[in-house]
Amino acid sequence: MRSRTPDRLCAEAVELAREAAAEAARPGTVGEHLGAVADGDRVVTHFFECAEPGYQGWRWAVTVARASRAKTVTLDETVLLPGPDALLAPEWVPWSERLRPGDLGPGDLLPTEAEDLRLEPGISGEDAPPPDSVLAEEELEQRPVPRIAEISGFAEEVGMGRARVLSRYGLHVAADRWEEEYGPKTPMAQAAPASCVTCGFLVPLSGSLRQAFGVCANEFSPADGHVVSLSYGCGGHSEAAVMPKPPRPAPPVIDETRVDELGLHDTEPDQETETEHGETGD
Distance CA 126, CA 123 (A): 8
Q: Give the count of beta carbons closer than 10 Å to the beta carbon of residue 20.
A: 22
**At closest approach, how far in Å is the CB of 185 from ligand SF4?**
15
**At closest approach, how far in Å is the CB of 177 from ligand SF4?**
17
Among residues 44 and 196, whose Cβ is nearest to ligand SF4?
Answer: 196
Among residues 78 and 195, whose Cβ is nearest to ligand SF4?
Answer: 195
**At closest approach, how far in Å is the CB of 178 from ligand SF4?**
12
φ, ψ of residue 81 to 5 degrees: the values are: -125, 150
Is-contact 242 199, C-beta < 8 A? no
Among residues 45 and 221, whose Cβ is nearest to ligand SF4?
Answer: 221
Distance CA 223, CA 213 (A): 12
Q: Which residues bind ligand SF4 (CB under 6 A)?
A: 196, 199, 201-202, 216, 218, 221, 223, 228, 232-234, 236-237
Among residues 243 and 254, whose Cβ is nearest to ligand SF4?
Answer: 243
**At closest approach, how far in Å is the CB of 170 from ligand SF4?**
24
**At closest approach, how far in Å is the CB of 157 from ligand SF4?**
28
Distance CA 216, CA 225 (A): 6
Among residues 147 and 177, whose Cβ is nearest to ligand SF4?
Answer: 177
**At closest approach, how far in Å is the CB of 172 from ligand SF4?**
22
Among residues 22 and 240, whose Cβ is nearest to ligand SF4?
Answer: 240
